[in-house]
């Protein structure tokens, strides 16, 4: 018996070892027999082989989990990309400049010349620029207006905008939602007020997502009111969230500089 134990210690472990029975806890008194050739299938072996099977199963599960993780990540990224508006329109921009202000607009935005630019006002149409031109076979329109409003404080301009937003007699808002406000700092450092609103115009049979930015110039005693409005047909407003309309507007608002 001592000789047999010594050979176990000095010889590498193998699934074909004749001393496999000892490793399995079998009695040492069992009659010796000639070693049998190893079986090909790993499922017909003793405990060491079962441990190998468990390792193989864990390895296979690990591969499956890793593949699933990559698939979920790819799906998440794809959904995010599909949900984003086309921000590449901001890579090529043109400057709009007066003695009062400077700001950049995407090069594909169309200036509407009917606006009296001598009053420092501006209007642009950017339908189909960075957003789908239609939704559910209905056209989508997008405009940007700038109005200069002489007043003594930003509060006066804010009251003007809120009364304008809520004054439409055919306006219908989602339950519990009138408009939201937040602060936004523009390029020249002034803090502006941003209004976000969604509503249905029954007369126009259209839904609107509207974003108003109001910034006040103490130097000129005037407020500059920028309004971006998207018109479409979708009572769920999924078009708004899916195309990130607010992010589109904010990306434009941040490039405004007052002189």
pLDDT digits (tens, 9 = 90+) for 219-253: 999 999 999 999 999 999 999 999 999 999 999 99
Residues 25 and 137 in one domain: no
CATH number at residue 241: 3.40.1000.10
Cβ-contact 170, 197 below 8 angstroms: no
Confidence of residue 146 (pLDDT cuts 50, 70, 90): very high
Same structural domain, 117 and 221: yes
Same domain, residue pair 37 and 70: yes
Structure tokens at 3: 């000789």
User: Which of 35, 63, 81 is a domain's end point?
Assistant: 81
Q: What is the pLDDT of residue 39?
A: 42
Range of the domain at 205: 87-258
End residue of a domain, out of 81, 107, 124:
81
Count of structural domains within the chain:
2
In this structure, the number of other CB atoms found within 10 A of the CB of residue 144 comes to: 20
| Together in a domain, 108 and 166 | yes
Per-residue DSSP letters for 93-144?
A: EEEEE-SSEEEEEETTPEE-TTS-GGGT-EEEE-TTSSS-SEETTEE-EEEE
Mean pLDDT calculated for residue range 162-182: 91
Which residue, of 81, 115, 140, is where some domain finishes?
A: 81
Same domain assignment for residues 136 and 211 = yes
Q: What confidence score (pLDDT) does residue 139 get? A: 97
Answer for the pair 215, 192: CB distance below 8 angstroms, yes or no: yes
Clarify whether residues 118 and 11 are in a common domain. Answer: no
Residue 210, helix vs strand vs coil: strand
Whole-structure pTM value: 0.67
67 and 173 in a single domain? The answer is no
């Amino acid at each position: 018996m001592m000789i047999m134990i010594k050979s176990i210690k000095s010889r590498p472990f193998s699934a074909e070892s004749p001393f496999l029975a000892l490793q399995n806890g079998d009695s040492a008194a069992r009659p010796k027999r000639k070693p049998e050739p190893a079986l090909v299938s790993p499922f017909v072996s003793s405990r060491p082989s079962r441990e190998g099977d468990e390792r193989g199963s864990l390895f296979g599960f690990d591969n499956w989990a890793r593949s699933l993780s990559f698939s979920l990540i790819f799906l998440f990224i794809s959904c995010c990309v599909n949900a984003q508006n086309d921000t590449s329109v901001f890579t090529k921009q043109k400057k709009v400049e007066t003695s009062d202000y400077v700001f950049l607009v995407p090069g594909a935005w169309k200036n509407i010349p009917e606006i009296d630019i001598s009053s420092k006002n501006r209007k642009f149409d950017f339908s189909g620029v960075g957003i789908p031109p239609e939704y559910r076979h209905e056209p989508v329109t997008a405009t940007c207006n700038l109005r200069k409003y002489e007043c003594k404080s930003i509060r006066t301009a804010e009251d003007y905008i809120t009364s304008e937003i809520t004054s439409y007699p055919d306006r219908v808002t989602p339950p519990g939602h009138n408009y939201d406000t937040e602060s936004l700092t523009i390029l020249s450092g002034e803090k502006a007020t941003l209004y976000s609103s969604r509503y249905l115009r029954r007369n126009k049979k259209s839904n609107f997502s509207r974003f108003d930015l109001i910034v006040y110039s103490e130097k000129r005693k005037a407020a500059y009111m920028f309004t971006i409005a998207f018109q479409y047909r979708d009572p769920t407003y999924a078009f708004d969230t899916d195309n990130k309309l607010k992010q589109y507007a904010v990306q434009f608002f941040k490039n405004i500089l007052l002189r």
